[in-house]
Amino acid sequence: MSKKIGILGGTFDPPHRGHLAISKFSLKKLKLNFIIWAITKKNPFKKKPIMPLKRRILLSKKITKLTKKIKIKSYDNQIQSSETIDLVRYLKKKEKKAEYFFLIGSDNLVNFHRWKSWKKLSKICQITVFPRNGYVRKSLNSKAIKTMGNSNFLLLKSKMINISSSKIRKNYLKYKH
């Protein structure tokens, strides 16, 4: 039986209990061998992260230390890219027989059609979508779903976690002054 590997990619600026909750849920629900938190230097669709990469890696290791099946990695230097398609291709070369599940929130599905090689990506790994507050209906009407259909995406039903790195950053910046 081949390995089942989850990938949660992002800047993790900062990592939080929402990342941890969907990781634990995925490990159990999808019967994954492990999950890789692929921490990228910069999201191609967002502003430069507030925290340096080393700090985000350190905080991610700290928040996941009790969950042995979560591995913290950064691949940007090895693959010279922060694009998901390049990451998944790189990982698939290393473990050819593994089945990959790329975890995203429904907020990401809304703009999934803007990702590099998004159609290919959904063919080489299982795009696994978690509900995010305010995005479920929008994601079901997304260009990706309309173009490729529901069957190309694994839409999970899980408890919605109302936390995001952007909210944390906004609050941090508000109270910092």
pTM, entire model: 0.89
* pLDDT at residue 169 in the model: 44
Alpha-carbon distances of 39 from 32, 46, 147, 160, rounded to whole Å: 19, 14, 29, 22
* pLDDT at residue 162 in the model: 59
Instruction: Kindly list the averaged pLDDT for each block of 10 residues, start to end, along the chain of length 177.
Output: 92 90 94 97 85 95 96 95 94 95 93 95 94 86 92 80 54 48
* pLDDT at residue 163 in the model: 57
* pLDDT at residue 166 in the model: 55
Pairwise CA distance, residues 136 & 59, whole Å: 29
* pLDDT at residue 151 in the model: 84
Instruction: From 176, 116, 46, select the one nearest 12 (Cα to Cα).
Output: 46
Pairwise CA distance, residues 85 & 87, whole Å: 5
Pairwise CA distance, residues 104 & 112, whole Å: 10
